[in-house]
Structure 1
């Protein structure tokens, strides 16, 4: 096991003593160490429930005979960062996320990774890290937000943006705008709509790095918790088989993701991210490939 580098032998007794300081037992240290990389925070609606989802992943890892180790990742909410200097930090955060996952995984010799992101730059950042590290990894996202309601109709963030224009044009009053504001986004999850987050969560399935349902099961459904448990169990199979991201992220996998991208009408940002993930995986992909699949 990779983790034997920090767990086994007389020379590693200082390392091992620090695991005991954390409360780990001999039984836990005899099992593969699985990094559970959670982007939980209290500032991103798509991430506000990832603490519970990461716990479900840990449960799955334990059920399948591994030792889960929770570690953090950052995440910017593009919606809150929009319209001011904060947006300058969104795309660069993708590289910070990839670098931090690499740092935590290699510094602590994890045998496998379960990546728990949800929103725009966090999903591709974690997938870039998985491709770069090439240790057994699987992704399970937080899932999409449910639709909101304004009056009798279902609405999403798209209608919230439109409501701002309607208000400025004098088409709706203050009370209606307030109704939109308070009822468009009803709870946790990635913003309802085919924006970057939901696009990349669907493409994570198509490219083979996430289980079926990753892109579509709503954040608040119990099926999302079940999916997280299954992802925790699945990573143990990947570790046993030493099945690594670059075994999965083949040219055919990227073409499959592009075909899904075109069929769903995903965010145009998905091309930006697929190219970055392909670069980390050492898979050639250019505009000609994208145009061919699109046609």
Structure 2
């Protein structure tokens, strides 16, 4: 292998790289890895590149209705464990990219409790098309516009040719950029890392800093669980509510806390944060500002400076300094993009948890992406257990203004593997019904989704949750002010329906999805793997 004898006693550092030629998200990671490895060597460490599975929502979701997306998160966690712990390596730097890599890498860091550092590897850019800026969000929502006959296939094709300019994750505050921000908010990424443009000079400078710093962390003996504390998770939740991250950060933060054996109730922390934090940014899909604008304005560090009074500034971070010390060294944010908490864009949090007889364990709403005029919605349920049928309902008129569309049996156990229900929501918005049709689902949504959307309903329908007993025509009430989700039947009727449920037979899927269904824990536990 060409390793000199004198190198054997150096800190052995895993460079965890999910590089793949399947997706643009990962096209630049090999170059980033080389820079990191050079910096580790220069700092006195011995780097070992570790290749892992590379889940990509837009590519991996092409098969099995997106059922591989959540399972690949946990596959990646175990992939890292086997290669890093099995080889008795001393520390690891984790190259984070698409939606599932960052949470999986944080989960692995918490599980192994080694000196660990996340390097967020950045977002892609869009470009001009038809006289206006186009990115992947525009393409996503335009599928519904095509279904509704508002644009032609040629128009959509032209958008797809222009929407992505360079490597990196989806533009906007979708799940990937949201989780990059969460890594920094947790203290697991260096200050100023999120969001960051993929392929830019600043990313490579941070890669060099990160390579040096992981060697120092290893020599200092600072492990992941010294950083992933209850206070750090509370900070991350507060930031998520203040900037309006993807709805998926909740399940991922729960999973990271579970793997870190950290005694913190993430759902309760979201409920508490919603009472004291308002939205200080309006990054797409929450408003007009693009992710590069947020980056230039100060990024998540800038947001944390603006809400510093609500954060625990004493927590340790991978920089070796406290969060407060990190923020003191950062420039003032642009208040036109990142407002102070005393003067927010909206006097409400970006994310909330709602409960009720349809979601006794909670459900999550990206309030920042719900039309401001809609805080109460009541309608007749229209139930689907197949997303494609729901999308066809848009074309045929079966889905009408005033409906509450219930997409169920799409959760981790029901899929098996959480079904990517986000396509229906995007199609709904593209069809012009995002303000007049509500969606409730136990499937997976995208951080790009907007509209009246209730996601991650807990327990999921396949676990015997109340969502399983909703019938087409039932009245459903969504009250975002009261944070309630209610099926308009009495307790006796609800109990009778749940009592009459017939357990679904095990999946006919084979291989990894079948194993996942047997091992996956409830959404309220982060949908991690374990033996019940």
For normalisation by structure 2, the TM-score amounts to 0.50
Map 1:67-146 onto structure 2 (within 5 A): 67-82=46-61, 84-85=63-64, 87-146=66-125
Residue of structure 2 aligned with 1:53, choices 32, 38, 43: 32
Give the Cα–Cα distance (whole angstroms) in 1 for the partners of residues 153 and 23 of structure 2.
26
Give the Cα–Cα distance (whole angstroms) in 1 for the partners of residues 145 and 65 of structure 2.
26
Give the Cα–Cα distance (whole angstroms) in 2 for the partners of residues 274 and 205 of structure 1.
13
Give the Cα–Cα distance (whole angstroms) in 1 for the partners of residues 111 and 99 of structure 2.
19
- What whole-Å deviation, never above 9, does each CA across 1:44-87 have from its counterpart, x for those lacking one? 21111110111111011112111111111111211123364151
Q: What is the aligned partner in structure 2 of residue 290 from structure 1? A: 270
Q: Report how far residue 202 of structure 1 moved.
A: 0.6
Q: State which structure, 1 or 2, has the greater radius of gyration over its C-alpha atoms.
A: 2
Q: Report how far residue 147 of structure 1 moved.
A: 2.5
Q: Report how far residue 262 of structure 1 moved.
A: 0.8
Change (3 A) 1:265 1:113: same
1:149 aligns with 2:128: yes
Q: Would you say the 8 A contact 1:41–1:47 is kept in 2?
A: yes
Q: Would you say the 8 A contact 1:135–1:244 is kept in 2?
A: yes
Larger proportion of strand? 2
Larger proportion of helix? 1
Structure 1 residue ranges (4+ consecutive) displaced by more than 6 angstroms after TM superposition: none
Q: What is the aligned partner in structure 1 of residue 260 from structure 2? A: 281
Map 1:1-295 onto structure 2 (within 5 A): 22-82=1-61, 84-85=63-64, 87-286=66-265, 287-295=267-275
- What whole-Å deviation, never above 9, does each CA across 1:154-182 have from its counterpart, x for those lacking one? 22221112222222333223432221010
Q: Report how far residue 98 of structure 1 moved.
A: 0.7
Give the Cα–Cα distance (whole angstroms) in 2 for the partners of residues 254 and 140 of structure 1.
18
For structure 1, the residue ranges without an aligned partner over 5 or more in a row are: 1-21
Determine helix, strand or coil for the equivalent of 1:138: strand
Q: Would you say the 8 A contact 1:47–1:117 is kept in 2?
A: no
Moved more, 163-172 or 116-125: 163-172
Q: Report how far residue 141 of structure 1 moved.
A: 2.2
For normalisation by structure 1, the TM-score amounts to 0.89
Calculate the aligned-residue CA RMSD, in Å.
Answer: 1.4
Give the Cα–Cα distance (whole angstroms) in 2 for the partners of residues 204 and 188 of structure 1.
20
Moved more, 190-199 or 24-33: 24-33
Determine helix, strand or coil for the equivalent of 2:208: helix
Give the Cα–Cα distance (whole angstroms) in 2 for the partners of residues 32 and 81 of structure 1.
35
Q: Would you say the 8 A contact 2:241–2:270 is kept in 1?
A: no
For structure 2, the residue ranges without an aligned partner over 5 or more in a row are: 276-532
Moved more, 154-163 or 63-72: 154-163
